[in-house]
């Protein structure tokens, strides 16, 4: 196995394009290194992305959004107060990944590209309407939505040589907020049995925009537009919350495993959606 650490995205794209055999990118390495050691993947080439300028940076864009370099670890996100204020749900999802040590390395891009339906930050990014800037084999740039990338357990719609350059978060409306919650069988260091992200904007006290995404209850993380619809025009009255829960439960197509039965996961999805919606709503009200 060969290891390279190029110092530009174009160089990385060129190396990847000319590589024979399989290629793995190294962001934080918290998935890649485990997979290499267990023999799950035996790539011919590992391309370390951390020496590329911008890969570890978080930049406020001119329109008030955020550009998060693809190898930026969770701890960096948490250290940026304005980012925590704009996208608390994204930051709290990243803060749930593994332990303090893992968070010192684990990136949003790696979480996305690993393709796990239980990935904690992917529902939060999906609900946020995040986009992904990609450098393709000929160094061409394109931008895709998170939804364009999720495909199946352990797989994405990225082409084998595509490199994620950044995760992009839109500007946050003044009266908006998000929240992410997950259920795990113990207090930490486990993967989600169910995850739920809710993102919303308010007009006065009324929900004017909403999106809801679920993790670990289907072969991919899923956006649930019917659930978001239940919140629009409401102040989270009881009926809206019951409809939200019902829509989320209906969107589930989970597996049955040692962490939770199908029935349990479906039931918890409804409960988490209600709690995440209340948290996002409260945060949005406090921003007004
Ligand atoms: C002890 C432990 C606990 C964990 N707990 C959690 C948890 O609670 N929740 C959770 O969601 N995950 C958890 N994980 C999994 C892992 O930490 C996350 O998925 C993390 O976000 C991966 O990010 P990374 O930067 O380390 O990715 P890497 O390991 O560097 O890469 C992961 C995958 O993405 C690809 N990739 C990385 N960067 C790019 C890029 N820029 N362009 C294209 N492809 C790329 C790699 O080729 C690889 O296939 C845990 C892992 C460990 C070891």
pLDDT tens profile 147-170: 999 999 999 999 989 999 999 999
Ligand 1 centre from 28 Cα, in Å?
7
Candidates 231, 64, 58, 213; CA nearest to 147 is 213
The whole-number average pLDDT for the span 35-44 is: 93
Ligand 1 centre from 200 Cα, in Å?
27
What structural domains does the chain harbor?
55-169 (3.30.465.10), 192-287 (3.30.390.50)
Joined tokens for residue 101:
């040590």
CA distance 99 to 188: 8
Ligand 1 centre from 43 Cα, in Å?
16
Q: Is the pLDDT at 203 greater than 90, yes or no?
A: yes
Mind giving me the DSSP string for the chain? -EEE--SSHHHHHHHHHH--S-EEEESS-TTHHHHHHHTS---SEEEE-TTSTTTT-EEE-TTS-EEEETT-BHHHHHT-HHHHHH-HHHHHHHHTSS-HHHHTT-BHHHHHHTT-TT-SHHHHHHHHT-EEEEE-TTS-EEEEEHHHHEEETTEESS-TT-EEEEEEEPPPPTTEEEEEEEE-SSSSSS--SEEEEEEEEEETTEEEEEEEEEESSSSS-EE-HHHHHHHTT-S--HHHHHHHHHHHHHT-----BTTB-HHHHHHHHHHHHHHHHHHHHHHHHHH-
Residue of the CA atom closest to atom 32 of ligand 1: 110
Ligand 1 centre from 280 Cα, in Å?
26
Does residue 213 contact residue 124 with C-beta atoms inside 8 Å?
yes
Q: Is the pLDDT at 188 greater than 80, yes or no?
A: no
Residue to probe by mutation, ligand 1, list 29, 30, 112, 150, most atoms within 8 Å of CB? 30
Backbone angles phi, psi at 114, to 5 degrees: -70, -25
- 217 CB within 6 A, ligand 1: no
Between the two ends of the chain, the Cα-to-Cα distance in Å is 54
Mean pLDDT of the chain: 96
Q: For the ranges 3-7, 17-21, 167-171, 216-220, which has the lowest average pLDDT?
A: 17-21
Residue to probe by mutation, ligand 1, list 1, 43, 94, 102, most atoms within 8 Å of CB? 102
The whole-number average pLDDT for the span 106-116 is: 98
Residue of the CA atom closest to atom 2 of ligand 1: 98
The strands making up 141-145's β-sheet, listed across from edge to edge, are 58-60, 66-69, 163-169, 131-135, 141-145
Full-prediction pTM beyond 0.75? Answer: yes
Ligand 1 centre from 187 Cα, in Å?
20
Confidence at 186, pLDDT banded by 50, 70, 90: confident
- 73 CB within 6 A, ligand 1: no
Half-sphere exposure of 139 (CA within 13 A, CB side): 8
Query: Quick one: pLDDT at residue 288?
Result: 62
Residue to probe by mutation, ligand 1, list 97, 105, 158, most atoms within 8 Å of CB? 97
- 268 CB within 6 A, ligand 1: no
Confidence at 97, pLDDT banded by 50, 70, 90: very high
């Amino acid at each position: 196995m060969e290891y390279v650490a190029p110092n530009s995205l174009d160089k990385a794209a060129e190396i990847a394009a000319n590589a024979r055999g399989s290629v793995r990118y190294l962001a934080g390495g918290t998935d890649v290194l485990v997979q290499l050691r267990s023999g799950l993947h035996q790539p011919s080439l590992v391309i370390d992305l951390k020496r590329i300028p911008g890969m570890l940076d978080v930049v406020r864009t001119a329109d008030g959004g955020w550009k998060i370099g693809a190898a930026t670890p969770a701890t960096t996100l948490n250290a940026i107060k304005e980012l925590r204020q704009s996208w608390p749900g994204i930051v709290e999802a990243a803060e749930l990944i593994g332990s303090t040590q893992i968070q010192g390395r684990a990136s949003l891009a790696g979480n996305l590209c690993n393709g796990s339906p239980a990935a904690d930050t992917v529902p939060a990014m999906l609900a946020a309407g995040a986009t992904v800037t990609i450098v393709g084999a000929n160094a061409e740039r394109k931008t895709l939505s998170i939804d364009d990338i999720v495909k199946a357990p352990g797989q994405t719609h990225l082409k084998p040589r595509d490199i994620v350059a950044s995760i992009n978060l839109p500007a946050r409306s003044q009266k908006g907020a998000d929240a992410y919650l997950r259920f795990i069988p113990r207090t930490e260091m486990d993967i989600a049995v169910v995850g739920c992200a809710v993102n919303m904007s308010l007009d006065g006290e009324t929900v004017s925009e909403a999106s809801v995404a679920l993790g670990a209850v289907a072969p991919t993380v899923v956006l649930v537009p019917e659930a978001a619809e239940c919140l629009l025009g409401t102040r989270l009255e009881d009926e809206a919350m019951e409809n939200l829960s019902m829509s989320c439960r209906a969107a589930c197509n989970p597996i049955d495993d040692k962490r939770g039965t199908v029935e349990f996961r479906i039931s918890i999805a409804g409960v988490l959606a209600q709690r995440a919606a209340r948290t996002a709503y409260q945060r949005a009200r406090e921003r007004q």
